[in-house]
Amino acid sequence: MNILITGAARGLGYELVRQFADAGHRVYATTRNPETADKLKQVTDASGGKATLHRMDVGDGESVKACAREIGNAPIDILINNAGVWGGLDTQTFQNMDYENWAHEFNIMAMGPFRVVQAFLPNVLASQRKIIATMTSQTAAAAYDHVIGYSYASAKAGLNRLMTGLANELKDEGVTVTLIHPGWIRTEMAGPVADMDPPDAAADVMKVITALTPADNGKWLKWTGDEHPW
Ligand SMILES: NC(=O)c1ccc[n+]([C@@H]2O[C@H](COP(=O)([O-])OP(=O)(O)OC[C@H]3O[C@@H](n4cnc5c(N)ncnc54)[C@H](OP(=O)(O)O)[C@@H]3O)[C@@H](O)[C@H]2O)c1
């Protein structure tokens, strides 16, 4: 299968590239800065051309379009919106909100995946599987009753609505649009206090994504494959 992953320099995105490439898939690994993505470059260099490195900043429409031009008309079976940002809890509380960070998080995590789907939909439609899988967060659920970072949680909640809208709009074209909460993972974003190591979380997410069928269109799943409450 052909797979495109955003935000692939580190964390979950890096692990997804590594594991999909190891499994023999054709992987388009995208990152803001290919020049500094040393770890990722080792994976693409060792893949014998099965995984390639591409520049894409999901916060910048021109960058997304340039990446789509570079990839051309290659079919993309699985488009994975993984790129994300977390400005830290201190600056997104009710008492102390950094509105610039809020706009940035919304741009990267809600508008970003929308831009990526706009730019790569022809590639998805040209593929066999036609899957769009997007990493969201449990904190976006109304059912999540712990402390939340308001900007991050609302950006992911906005993302959820954008993807459920696209699930409805694209279903007649055979596209499967699914949201995934990947678990609480010990990446740079969540830090060492989280639950899971990135290789384990990526293996679980990969299993869920590769098993998606049109029956999963519009669903929100956990890394376990179970449905996530809204
Ligand atoms: N970790 C968790 O516990 C957890 C829980 C729920 C959901 N998630 C979601 O899972 C996804 C992966 O998170 P992670 O934990 O792996 O985070 P991470 O370690 O912080 O990695 C985030 C990735 O996103 C990339 N990125 C940031 N801004 C970007 C932009 N403008 N354009 C393209 N790429 C950009 C980063 O690339 P650079 O190297 O260029 O900065 C980095 O590779 C995110 O969507 C996150 O919200 C994570």
Structural domains of the chain ordered from first start: 2-222 (3.40.50.720)
Q: Residue 11: left (phi > 0), alpha (psi -120 to 50), or beta?
A: left
Residue ID of nearest Cα to ligand 1 atom 40: 32
At residue 175 the predicted structure's pLDDT band, cuts being 50, 70 and 90, is very high
Percent of the chain with pLDDT over 90: 100
Q: Which of 58, 53, 66, 9 is nearest to 27 (CA)?
A: 53
CA of 141 from ligand 1 middle (Å) equals 19
- Look over the chain and give the mean of its residue pLDDT values, rounded to a whole number: 98
Of ligand 1's atoms, which has the minimum distance to the CA of residue 83? 24
Q: Under a CB-based contact definition with an 8 Å cutoff, are residues 149 and 139 in contact?
A: yes
Q: Is the CB of 10 within 6 Å of ligand 1? A: yes
Q: Is the CB of 64 within 6 Å of ligand 1? A: no
CA distances from 192 to 19, 20, 107, 123, 222 (A): 22, 25, 26, 37, 21
End-to-end CA distance of the chain: 30
pLDDT score at 30: 98
CA of 133 from ligand 1 middle (Å) equals 14
